[in-house]
Amino acid sequence: MANLSKISERGCLFERLKQHNGPWIALRTFSKAYGLAGLRIGYGITFHSALAEAIYKVRSPFNVSAPALAGAEAAYGDQSHVAATRDFVSRERQRVANALRDMGLPPAPSDGNFLFFDCGRPARTLAQRLRQKGVLIKAWTEAGYENHARVTIGNIEDNNSFLSALREALDGGAK
């Protein structure tokens, strides 16, 4: 398949792992930047053969479909698209994070395609109000995080819809 020496991870992950003195495995998906979430395909790189053998023992015998593999190969070959997607998501993530801060809803630091933020109120209630407006967020339910939610960074229109619906939901007294 692909030449793994071309893989460029944020923060030079593989360069740091080469310096690690012990077994390691890095798992990545083609979900977000590559646009292949529905195909459920990814890859793993390991330094230790025992880790590779353990993964091989538990994998399904037909764990990757031919269309998924073809999609991954094509997507991997278009690194300019991946870079453009990464740059777009970075800009939009920053814009949405700033808007959340302006609303008094501070997000956690993120390098992904989502923001995890403090709603300042029960996240389930806020999520229900947003759902009624056609906007979906994931309300967190783990103890201590009931007032937190996760929103995926989408296209500009989707992000604007989220921010607009969020402002309306907050004005509607979702406390």
Q: Determine the Cα–Cα distance for residues 170 and 99; give it in Å rounded to an integer.
A: 13
Q: Determine the Cα–Cα distance for residues 32 and 90; give it in Å rounded to an integer.
A: 13
137 within 8 A of 89, measured Cβ to Cβ: no
Q: What is the pLDDT of residues 17-35, one digit of tens each?
A: 777 778 888 888 888 788 8
Last residue of a domain, one of 18, 44, 77: 77
Q: What pLDDT does 121 receive?
A: 94
Q: Are residues 85 and 129 in the same domain?
A: yes
Tokens coding 154: 């989408």
Q: What is the pLDDT of residues 130-142, one digit of tens each?
A: 999 999 999 999 9
Q: Determine the Cα–Cα distance for residues 154 and 163; give it in Å rounded to an integer.
A: 12
Q: How many domains, in total, are found in the chain?
A: 2
Q: Are residues 167 and 92 in the same domain?
A: yes
Q: Are residues 99 and 158 in the same domain?
A: yes
Beta bridge mates, 28: 43
Q: Are residues 165 and 101 in the same domain?
A: yes
**Residue 70, class by beta-carbon neighbours within 10 Å (0-12 exposed, 13-18 middle, 19+ buried)?**
exposed
Q: What is the pLDDT of residues 31-74, one digit of tens each?
A: 878 888 888 888 888 888 888 899 889 888 878 888 999 999 99
Which range marks the domain in which residue 18 is found?
8-77
- 2 pLDDT above the threshold of 50: no
Q: Determine the Cα–Cα distance for residues 74 and 142; give it in Å rounded to an integer.
A: 38
Confidence bin at 88 (pLDDT 50/70/90): very high
Task: Judge whether 134 lies within some domain.
Answer: yes
**Residue 151, class by beta-carbon neighbours within 10 Å (0-12 exposed, 13-18 middle, 19+ buried)?**
buried
- 159 pLDDT above the threshold of 60: yes
Q: Determine the Cα–Cα distance for residues 80 and 64; give it in Å rounded to an integer.
A: 25
Q: What pLDDT does 61 receive?
A: 82
Query: For tokens 């939901």, what's the residue?
Result: 169
